[in-house]
Structure 1
């Protein structure tokens, strides 16, 4: 690949083609790099990797809003224009795109496609395919709405040459040229009549694997493309080494646990602390050639928690939301159920420099001052809200008394063991759960809420029913994860904009529609450097935390994994990564 200039947002935008882009920082890897540092370029090809996946699937079309999607089609059979580096906060390197050029005015980006790129049907990957992929994902009514929100600032896409595609923007957007690199590209022959006409159809991709077979929503299998066009490119060297990748689906976690001990899986990430501590004896694992490992990571943990749906009462009252946040006894749950393996989440950007702290200052304060009239005084006068702490000596009682006082301010009265509103209606809430796992976690919360007169019912839903209710915002409370990175951007519109609050299938689970938040969101599209991005992230974090939309849960600074002794992994892990993703991309069979 020829020597090309680097593009970095910390410098004026250059109208030169580049092999890679860094958001607010120079790309780590130079134009002549051979492979990423976190892979083994000489990893052998061959063998099988079998992974567990929760739930089931009823469609092989990965783009539709409706249906339970198969886990591997998008990740394994589709290439993107560029590839994200796991060693950097946000940097992209060419894959389908041989190089990329950001216009000097920041209002367009041009991708020049690699002439070697081929779809699985033998057709070359052309600009028309890129344009068709973009238009289908953002304009087809059957597509999941997240694509439309993610690339909302694209005005049009042009194809001036067979292997040149240009995206023109409605306005300057600091990350748009890079997140367009994440566009999954499929042949324009894939869905000639639209997504609705092909609800179970596979896209024609150009990725490292081809779909091989499926078995009744319980198993899916992919075969490595022996002639994969990109296998020797720097962004793919040493990656996707297994001849076969197999996903086995399970409905109940006990089935997964027994499957691990029975040797049905080659690699498992264990996210349940009790299982990690007690479910797997060394003897059971040794019999199957398995071993436990802990991998440290530097990932932003985002925010996991019990989200409250403000679209319905009583969660449209901030006092009720504050009371529920006060009432959750994390410390007891962590010690009794999680064996002390977790830390409390406290931010949209937990474990990150993007998290707000103390009182606002510097750039963050200057930004908040521009919308001061839309914010409560507490945002400026008080430290950012932290997750409540439970004093081990006093227990949860002081927190429950605070919660009851807040509920009384909201107009509720405690009589004969029941908390009721002014019309005498008792406060009854439903927690919608995707798994029986959360029944034991919420059991103590149920008992504690009962002490102040609130009845919390737990409804465990089948995965398909759960997903539909989530898409339709049909719940009081449920468990969600606001996934974030070191470079938050357009996804914040999907989480918190008024438009997403009114659009089924988005990730605005709390129904946030707030003037101050609406004023902050454009900052994630218009920043000029990482200092401005950090200020915007901290400001949004502070404002959202003062709205008490979620009862914060927990996070871990390490991945807990079990895998076969015959599975090889590179000597060095990247800084930012998901365990199963890294094992799938960079592992091999010895």
Structure 2
């Protein structure tokens, strides 16, 4: 929920900012950025990022699907618990810092013109630009920054109070354009100036007479380069550039945000959405269905060269996607029950039969990164975990880190089923009339829920295998509002969910794996997992002085989570499947940690006119 505001539709990242520090008279550092671990790539006088075309043409509309926006929306307030948010709202807001897409943990001044902090990072002061303006022309001041903190703490999503701001002591305006964040004594302060710099700046004058806690489709006043220009609830939303945007000439914006507008089309049915793309109703599509990618891109527009396909390498950690097991449910309390479920998903058969051998199996919670645990526990990990030995599964110390079983490429792998049955028996489940029951006579029941049938072709074989093992398993399709509420209140047994994983994790991962988020409504802790060991390691991650130190702590967490079997891991592809009508220009260099489409591509008017002349597009 806590997002860095990045203008020009740059992708959201968790920032640890690099810098070339300058000593100050009072032993503070003044810089154009800040870092957790190293030096900034870009100097204070940088003109633009290396991965952009600084002379990119401006104009046109990029039309696409919402990547994470769901099938509908009913709210333009992304900061609260209520409502189904429309996609890309973060781009309506500016923040004090912004990041680059070719560094793993960097950010640079944006609304701020400088950042000052002591070596221990116990506080940070931002000097703000005086030309910053909200969309209604009102100046952006330090008082708005303080208001943003206060309103999010009081009425925002629980994440702000429980995770994002838990180590903030105060936020104060020193004058109209200087704001100071002071952090609590004893807190891990390494990333706190960075998180402060990522705060979305909300207009005090707009919200002071409105109920911030209520979801609404009133278009809010923002501070970013784009605003909502047009929408139809549940159908589409269009963001367009703000006239005379105050920050359009900042180095971070040169060569980025090259489209006048970005329009997201919403469809309730995936096949209908694909047909709309084939007809040219929208121009760019990031394909997430391997079957479509392999078998359905043979329509005339592809054959004629009007539509292009490409795989864009993705160097970010893979999405932490899996079938998450809700440990809040009584039937999942025994770790052997959860481990048994690992043997009831046949990835090898699914990959061959359903995915056309497109994917690799994921096992780590930090897949496709150097933060993934491997093999036996290392001495460095052991030093961190030894104090918690008695509270952790013995497998953490005595066995190689858990890797999902490799199964036969047939729908039912009998050896895997036998292994699952053995584990279930050890967990106390006994077959009675074809169903597994515990000592109290309660049946082992598992319900999968979703608001679409997109995963049904994957879940159905799993459910069939579960039934063979004696589990009362079923799939229930519900409507979108029900899905949102049941997800927020953890009213489910198992759920297919994927989360973006940070390049530079810090204490914010408590939102996914910390005890603090187990009962917090609408947290990212889908499994409801928490332990003293992981809570302590999360603090180690946040206080690490080097990336090497951070990696050891993350690998230790990864080792624990895999031994606890809090999810059945799915699959990953270290690339993005991009399909687009051939009307775009793109820089020669793709940013390392993004496909660059939204942030760096532009409309090539000659290509667009040529396709229109051929009748390919309207």
TM over 0.5: yes
Q: How big is the shift at 1:282? A: 4.7
Q: How big is the shift at 1:73? A: 2.7
Is the CA contact (8 Å cut-off) linking 1:302 and 1:347 kept in structure 2? no
Secondary structure (helix, strand or coil) at the match of 2:295 reads: helix
Aligned 1:170-319 pairs, distance under 5 A = 170=184, 171-192=187-208, 193-196=210-213, 199-285=216-302, 289-319=306-336
Q: Which residue of 2 aligns with 1:35?
A: 48
Q: How big is the shift at 1:288? A: 8.8
Secondary structure (helix, strand or coil) at the match of 1:323 reads: helix
Is the CA contact (8 Å cut-off) linking 1:308 and 1:321 kept in structure 2? yes
Structure 2 CA distance for partners of 1:256 and 1:412, relative to 1, 3 Å: same
Q: How big is the shift at 1:404? A: 0.4
Runs of 4+ in 1 over 6 A off after TM superposition: none
Q: Which residue of 1 aligns with 2:64?
A: 51
Secondary structure (helix, strand or coil) at the match of 1:86 reads: coil
Aligned 1:385-396 pairs, distance under 5 A = 385-392=402-409, 396=413
Q: Which residue of 2 aligns with 1:505?
A: 522
Pick one of 89, 93, 99 that aligns with 1:73. Answer: 89
Q: Which residue of 1 aligns with 2:130?
A: 115
Q: How big is the shift at 1:275? A: 1.1
1:106 aligns with 2:133: no
Q: Which residue of 1 aligns with 2:616?
A: none
**What is the alpha-carbon distance in structure 1 between the residues aligned to residue 113 and residue 420 of structure 2?**
58
Q: How big is the shift at 1:287? A: 6.1
Give the superposed CA RMSD. 2.0
Q: How big is the shift at 1:197? A: 5.3
Q: Which residue of 1 aligns with 2:607?
A: none
- TM-score of the superposition, structure 2-length normalised? 0.90
Secondary structure (helix, strand or coil) at the match of 1:466 reads: helix
Structure 2 CA distance for partners of 1:31 and 1:393, relative to 1, 3 Å: same
1:38-85 C-alpha deviation (Å, 9 max, x unpaired): 11111111111111134111112222211111113322x211111121
**What is the alpha-carbon distance in structure 1 between the residues aligned to residue 157 and residue 411 of structure 2?**
48
Structure 2 CA distance for partners of 1:394 and 1:466, relative to 1, 3 Å: closer
Q: Which runs of 5 or more residues in structure 1 are unaligned?
A: none
Structure 2 CA distance for partners of 1:271 and 1:316, relative to 1, 3 Å: same
**What is the alpha-carbon distance in structure 2 between the residues aligned to residue 276 and residue 50 of structure 1?**
20
The count of corresponding residues between Structure 1 and Structure 2 is 576
1:215-265 C-alpha deviation (Å, 9 max, x unpaired): 132111122123111111111111111112211111111111111111111
**What is the alpha-carbon distance in structure 2 between the residues aligned to residue 242 and residue 535 of structure 1?**
42
Aligned 1:560-575 pairs, distance under 5 A = 560-575=577-592
Structure 2 CA distance for partners of 1:391 and 1:217, relative to 1, 3 Å: closer
Aligned 1:441-460 pairs, distance under 5 A = 441-460=458-477
Secondary structure (helix, strand or coil) at the match of 2:332 reads: coil
Q: How big is the shift at 1:32? A: 1.4
Q: How big is the shift at 1:279? A: 2.0
**What is the alpha-carbon distance in structure 1 between the residues aligned to residue 38 and residue 119 of structure 2?**
18
**What is the alpha-carbon distance in structure 2 between the residues aligned to residue 138 and residue 182 of structure 1?**
15
**What is the alpha-carbon distance in structure 2 between the residues aligned to residue 473 and residue 146 of structure 1?**
16
Q: Which runs of 5 or more residues in structure 2 are unaligned?
A: 1-17, 605-618
**What is the alpha-carbon distance in structure 2 between the residues aligned to residue 14 and residue 29 of structure 1?**
24
Secondary structure (helix, strand or coil) at the match of 1:519 reads: helix
Structure 2 CA distance for partners of 1:48 and 1:525, relative to 1, 3 Å: same
User: Which deviates more, 439-448 or 545-554?
Assistant: 439-448
Q: How big is the shift at 1:393? A: 8.2
1:168 aligns with 2:182: yes
Q: Which residue of 2 aligns with 1:25?
A: 38
Q: How big is the shift at 1:139? A: 2.1
1:153 aligns with 2:167: yes
Is the CA contact (8 Å cut-off) linking 1:189 and 1:204 kept in structure 2? no
**What is the alpha-carbon distance in structure 1 between the residues aligned to residue 216 and residue 93 of structure 2?**
18
1:506-540 C-alpha deviation (Å, 9 max, x unpaired): 11111112222222221132222212211111111
- TM-score of the superposition, structure 1-length normalised? 0.94
Q: How big is the shift at 1:544? A: 1.0
**What is the alpha-carbon distance in structure 2 between the residues aligned to residue 405 and residue 428 of structure 1?**
18
